[in-house]
Chain A
């Protein structure tokens, strides 16, 4: 039926190139629009902003590729930040233990999401919406609605802010994001859990009939997303040198937007880490650029919203063309 079949690899990279071209176009546009945009300090600021959303988006890519959704990542990240404060300040754990503890706590949140979705069979949207509210409430309860400061660990803020290259501004947090990107890309495209994320998202019944334990792998996928949430929570707390118990709502949508702009299908079965990173950068650059060019805050979300609509529409056109 098809005259010239296009190999999967080529089609995948067309989609990433499209997102990458948009990113470059936006960068060029803002560089001309504002003299403050293309400056080293502003670019570092964009990378810092992209780091936290980007790490959330990396984990969420696995969930969305598998045909699920995770709405709890924003408030879950806040809760993990609060737990970092609890471990290190309230309980006096050493910094490394507090960091690992908070990351594992994120994994636990993801595991519970995965359990609710795969074992109890709740729809992912509802299961993670519930978790979103639970995490939001718990952050306030545990912290007594007040920020937790890392008094005993003044060096904790270096985790995000330490300059890796002497003399130049390149924060450790951004380097961590880069490393995690490579790890996530390898896991998604080269390991069994990545393969099953694609196959479950593509056809869950066929995957199960092929002898794959779908329940177990969904649990794994949501747990992976949770671990990324934990890492993002730790870095966000480090960036501010304090655990802020309020907020996080809306962050999940920003991360999901990054994933979708990067070409990952909300129906599952298609997507890439490279696309997600480009998507996260597009969101961060847009938000920053609109701010630098003094576009009123209200209009900023209008623009980002429209970009998401366009991205999804383009993705749909591409799929029809196939």
Chain B
């Protein structure tokens, strides 16, 4: 808990024109832990994540990886660090099969020809290492998969690349009860395998089921980063809705407690 965070941002600011979306945000994520990022709609969760992933450039603030300051100017920089974001809807190509999706953008070639056999083996190994048994064939088109299976493939894709930090944007948003449980189990396993996992979720049950730490955003400010065992459901809900809860959260003048 007291180690250096794998990823840390300090005093991050981001504006779109006159609208300041993120204000002096501090955020850290640790290897081997699930950090839940919670907040109401418009609190700045997606913006923060896109800043971490290099999709948005930050206006000011420090970005530290492994304790060292780094500059991230695009998705490629983030990918080079081993930071990957699994988006809710945009992650997969329906008309490609599971293997093709998992290797999209990083295909293995032998000469100028794609090495589909090696890719198929590695994809199957990765799914097996995550104890994924829900897909019958890695050659299935993604369009034929259920929501939970799609999410599993998207997460496995991020894992395949030995990423060190994976951000999951509402991975359980459109799933049923059983599938949600499967995906959460997978999220937990990622962290147990040593990855830093950032989980964006609106669902407090999901958050408390898997998260080690919880970071709550309120109107573009980080109001608390706490251990999940130190807070209750209702405290987190208060933080999300009002920015403070007892000793936790923003003081009246807006500074972080």
Contacts and interface: CB of A to CB of B under 8 A. Distances in A.
For this complex, into which size category does the number of interface residues on chain A fall? 20 to 34
B143 A322 contact: yes
18 contacts: A2-B144, A7-B137, A7-B140, A8-B139, A186-B113, A190-B116, A192-B114, A199-B93, A199-B96, A201-B95, A202-B93, A202-B96, A206-B93, A207-B93, A209-B91, A269-B95, A270-B95, A322-B143
Interface string A197-226: 011011101110111100000000000000
Contacts of B76: 211
Given A7-B137, A8-B139, A210-B105, A203 B144 contact: no
B104 A207 contact: yes
Interface in B129-143: 136-137, 139-141, 143
B139 A209 contact: no
A76 to B, nearest CB: 27
A11 B141 CA distance: 10
B107 interface: yes
Given A195-B100, A198-B95, A203-B94, 18 more contacts: A2-B144, A5-B144, A7-B139, A8-B139, A8-B140, A186-B113, A190-B114, A190-B116, A192-B114, A195-B107, A198-B100, A206-B90, A206-B92, A206-B93, A209-B85, A209-B90, A212-B105, A322-B144
B106 A211 contact: yes
A230 to B, nearest CB: 22
B97 interface: yes
Interface in A217-240: none
Interface in A157-191: 186, 190-191
A199 B140 contact: no
B104 A5 contact: no
A121 to B, nearest CB: 19
A192 B93 contact: no
Given A195-B107, A207-B105, A211-B75, A190 B95 contact: no
B112 A191 contact: yes
A7 to B, nearest CB: 5
Contacts of A212: 104-105
B137 A206 contact: no
Contacts of B105: 207, 210-212
A302 interface: no
A179 B203 CA distance: 57
A234 to B, nearest CB: 25
B104 to A, nearest CB: 4
B146 interface: yes
A192 B107 contact: yes
A24 interface: no
A1 interface: yes
B94 A202 contact: yes
Contacts of B75: 209, 211
A16 B203 CA distance: 46
A278 B93 CA distance: 27
Contact of B114 (A195, A210, A270): A195
A320 interface: no
Interface in A1-46: 1-2, 5-9, 11
Nearest to B157: A210
Nearest to B116: A190
Interface in B105-134: 105-107, 109, 112-114, 116
A1 B92 contact: no
B56 interface: no
Of the listed residues B90, B94, B95, the one surrounded by the most CB atoms of chain A closer than 10 A to its CB is B95
A201 B96 CA distance: 10
A203 B106 CA distance: 16
A209 B97 CA distance: 17
Interface string B72-103: 00011001000001010011111111001000
Given A207-B104, A209-B87, A192 B109 contact: yes
Nearest to B111: A191
A8 B97 CA distance: 7
Nearest to B79: A211
Contacts of B139: 7-9
Interface string B144-155: 101000000000
Given A8-B139, A8-B140, A202 B95 contact: yes
A262 B106 CA distance: 30
